[in-house]
Structure 1
Amino acid sequence: MSLKAATNFSTEANVHTGHRNRSQSNDLAVRARKLADEAIGIDSHIDTVQRILVMGEDLGKRWDVGHVDIPRLHAGGTHAPFFALWVPVYFPGAEAVRRTLDLRDAMQTLFETRKDEIELATTADDIERIVKEGKIAAFITVEGGHTIDDDLRVLRMYYQLGIRSMTLTHSRNNNWADSATDTPVHNGLTDFGREVVREMNRLGMVVDVSHVADKTFYDALEVTTKPVMLTHSSMRAISDVPRNVTDEMLWALAKNGGVVGITFGEGFINPKDAEALRSAIEIETTAPVMAGRTLDDYAAQDVRKLFGTRVKVAATVEDVADHIDHAVKVAGIDHVGIGSDFDGVSGPPNGLDDVSKMPALIEVLLERGYSDRDLKKILGGNTLRVIREVTGR
């Protein structure tokens, strides 16, 4: 969609209808529920694997902690989430590889114990088939390029394990790419970083440019021959934090054919929450030098702290819709998706307390004038297209 067309669409979509009567509210709720059931339902970033590995939780049960489990995925219409194998940046070298394998093993346990409810998906065809069978399609991504320990052979082994996406950096620079939340040292991607992008293209892995420095983002777009994703990022024009993206980045993403997954986390959505997020980024420190079980125990404390704390936020479901509106206006309807970061944040927006509440967001977007067709694009159709273009089927 051209920028002019996208702007016109957004103007129409942002017409608020004022106070709804009870009949109108019921009609919108019914339409939202129907769309949640019918859409492919892709969320391009959740961190739920930590709960399996650290807490030993069975995601086949409905929990009153965290944001995601299989019953709540069905309730919210999220049929095909990206399960992120997130490895904190204080896992060095081979320890980061080991942690990635531990997380992948935790996912395998889920696949084997709940094989009638969830299945690994490595292509767009897989996602469509698994969702049609009434199961959750799990698309696995690695969060943080430090997890390959500067070795393309490790990247290729991740591919053999069914991993089909990788975020180039996390919260700190690695040896070949600058992060959005660190002091630049590479001026974007190094020569090896460019090799990583080329190899991901060759293998058929989604290049994820959330978390990367702006220069890293543009370097990746210069190198890639396939669409990329910002799997969990929101709009810097609304909430000015470095992990969010500028309008210029959105234009470049649209030209590349990629998709931005609007993220819900504290600070990314509402500027009233942003200062606390910026402060947290500034004070983040590296862990003491550790390895093996000692390092795992240290990381487990972090995970339990995340899931044991619910942060009060100003952000609301309406704020999330504002970010979607802005992304549609700038990049076009074909380049916007959902990337909640559920189970990776301690303060989701009010009204979107967990993944089961996704119909509330759909209802707000319906009220703003989005068509069913365009909502199905946002709710997974656009991301499915990128997966198909990257994996080949």
Structure 2
Amino acid sequence: MTDPQAVHQSAIVIDTHADTPQRFVDEHWDFTDPLNGGMLNYSSAKQGNLDAQFFSIWVDPNQYPANASAHRTLALIDGTLEQVRKHPDKLALCVSADDIVATHAQGKFAVLMGIEGGHSIENDLGLLRDYYRLGVRYMTLTWSNTNNWADSSGDIDDEKVQHHNGLTPFGKQIVAEMNRLGMMVDISHVSDKTFWDVIATTRTPVIASHSSARALTHAARNMTDEMLLAMKKNNGVVMVNFFPAFIDENWRKAWAAQEPERKQAQKALEAEYSAKGLPVPYTASDKIDREFAAKIGRAPFNSLIDHFDHVIKIAGIDHVGIGTDFDGIPVPPAGIDSAADLPKVTAALMARGYTADDLHKLLGGNLLRVFREVQAASDHNP
């Protein structure tokens, strides 16, 4: 098979990270509605042959106090499950690799969930188990904030934040409990030391749900070549993120240069909402980020393809996947406006010499393998 369109259509395409649930809850927006400024909806997914989506359950720690994060987490889970309830003819909740395959065979869209940020469990293994029971199948150990048991790459240089030199003993317990449950451990966002602690602790493969290559773009969120090799050894999978600041060094520098001004605008917005006693809705803060991103312009499409290429060269074709970060980033690279544009990634990689088999692995096969392996090692499958 040499036609990129045919290759893309014949694959089970899985994206491990999109921040769309906030739209369900805060905007009362429906997945079958027009995009209305978003990057992912039912129609764009169908156009781009996106078959399965891990919806990110992300609680902004700056807007929801530590003791309210579980409530917000549950609201986002409910918002996602409600989409499935409203559209049983189009959507199906999937909690295993086999579910994804079966749902794909039925021609339905597979809905999955991953929690982004361990602060959502409020230091409680019981809550972690409850989220699993509700259908959550991965957890990103930290978001950009260090929590009580794991350091984040987002604030690792902030002396005001109490760090733990990676994972605490309780953090290691959480990884062990996720292994036991059959919940994938996601190391996107964690600090370098946390990453190495996870690799030493986990007994199953791990994922990076939305991280790119640090050798090409020097963002702390990206993975070093040494980490990519460790992911290969772990039999895990690294999903390339589409955010220009993680895939294009020039764009990253321009974005970093705007930071003081951007923070000022966000602070003014926060003051406006806190005067009303309300958390800042993501749409409002995202609007500011989009305005600043527009001043920089779009990152070149090839920057994205370079990251896929690099991860494959270092970790191998069995350890790469897609983690777009749609609806969680202010702008994707040039040529990618929504999920409808995903076939362009397949075409570009095939133009670089990758085969149909390679693409079937990258587009979804690798994630299915890891998901199966994690679930097979759980105590649900003795």
TM-score, with structure 1 as normaliser: 0.87
Match of 2:59 in 1: 87
Question: What one-letter code is carried by the residue in structure 2 that aligns with 1:324?
Answer: F
Match of 1:205 in 2: 183
Contiguous gaps of at least 5 residues in structure 1: 1-26
Q: Is the 8 A contact 1:210 1:231 kept in 2?
A: yes
Match of 1:229 in 2: 207
1:39, distance to aligned residue in structure 2 (A): 0.8
Judging changes above 3 Å, is the alpha-carbon distance between structure 1 residues 344 and 300 closer, same or farther for their aligned structure 2 residues?
closer
- Give matches, 1:245-324, under 5 Å: 245-278=223-256, 294-297=277-280, 299=282, 301-303=284-286, 305=288, 311=294, 312-324=296-308
Q: Is the 8 A contact 2:298 2:333 kept in 1?
A: yes
1:63, distance to aligned residue in structure 2 (A): 2.1
Tell me the distance in 2 between the aligned counterparts of 1:281 and 1:211: 19
Of residues 244-253 and 352-361 in structure 1, the stretch that sits farther from structure 2 once superposed is 352-361
Tell me the distance in 2 between the aligned counterparts of 1:309 and 1:356: 25
Question: What one-letter code is carried by the residue in structure 2 that aligns with 1:85?
Answer: I
Question: What one-letter code is carried by the residue in structure 2 that aligns with 1:37?
Answer: Q
SS at match of 1:268: helix
Question: What one-letter code is carried by the residue in structure 2 that aligns with 1:345?
Answer: I
Contiguous gaps of at least 5 residues in structure 2: 158-162
Tell me the distance in 1 between the aligned counterparts of 2:94 and 2:6: 24
1:183, distance to aligned residue in structure 2 (A): 2.5
Q: Is the 8 A contact 2:237 2:318 kept in 1?
A: yes
Judging changes above 3 Å, is the alpha-carbon distance between structure 1 residues 339 and 198 closer, same or farther for their aligned structure 2 residues?
same
Match of 1:215 in 2: 193
1:138 pairs with 2:111:
yes
Question: What one-letter code is carried by the residue in structure 1 that aligns with 2:70?
Answer: V
Tell me the distance in 2 between the aligned counterparts of 1:266 and 1:173: 24
1:351 pairs with 2:335:
yes
Quote the sequence identity (%): 41
- Give matches, 1:148-163, under 5 Å: 148-163=121-136
Match of 2:369 in 1: 385
Match of 2:355 in 1: 371
Question: In the TM superposition, what whole-angstrom CA distance separates every residue of 1:341-365 from its partner, at most 9, and x where no partner exists?
Answer: 0111111000111110011111111
Of residues 301-310 and 40-49 in structure 1, the stretch that sits farther from structure 2 once superposed is 301-310
Match of 2:34 in 1: 62
Aligned residue pairs: how many? 363
Aligned with residue 71 of structure 1, among 43, 66, 86: 43
Judging changes above 3 Å, is the alpha-carbon distance between structure 1 residues 75 and 310 closer, same or farther for their aligned structure 2 residues?
farther
Q: Is the 8 A contact 2:140 2:188 kept in 1?
A: yes
Judging changes above 3 Å, is the alpha-carbon distance between structure 1 residues 324 and 161 closer, same or farther for their aligned structure 2 residues?
same
1:39 pairs with 2:11:
yes
1:96, distance to aligned residue in structure 2 (A): 0.7
Match of 1:19 in 2: none
Q: Is the 8 A contact 2:4 2:347 kept in 1?
A: yes
Q: Is the 8 A contact 1:145 1:166 kept in 2?
A: yes
Q: Is the 8 A contact 2:12 2:365 kept in 1?
A: yes
Greater relative contact order (CA < 8 Å, ≥ 6 in sequence): 1
Match of 2:160 in 1: none
CA RMSD of aligned residues (A): 2.3
Q: Is the 8 A contact 1:77 1:356 kept in 2?
A: yes
Match of 1:49 in 2: 21
1:316, distance to aligned residue in structure 2 (A): 2.4
1:97 pairs with 2:70:
yes
Tell me the distance in 1 between the aligned counterparts of 2:257 and 2:127: 34
TM-score, with structure 2 as normaliser: 0.89
Q: Is the 8 A contact 1:189 1:216 kept in 2?
A: yes
1:38, distance to aligned residue in structure 2 (A): 1.2
Judging changes above 3 Å, is the alpha-carbon distance between structure 1 residues 129 and 318 closer, same or farther for their aligned structure 2 residues?
same
Q: Is the 8 A contact 1:266 1:277 kept in 2?
A: no
SS at match of 1:240: coil
1:121 pairs with 2:94:
yes
Judging changes above 3 Å, is the alpha-carbon distance between structure 1 residues 297 and 268 closer, same or farther for their aligned structure 2 residues?
closer
Q: Is the 8 A contact 2:115 2:138 kept in 1?
A: yes
Tell me the distance in 2 between the aligned counterparts of 1:238 and 1:180: 17
Question: In the TM superposition, what whole-angstrom CA distance separates every residue of 1:184-207 from its partner, at most 9, and x where no partner exists?
Answer: 611000111101100000001010
Question: What one-letter code is carried by the residue in structure 2 that aligns with 1:189?
Answer: L
Q: Is the 8 A contact 2:19 2:328 kept in 1?
A: yes
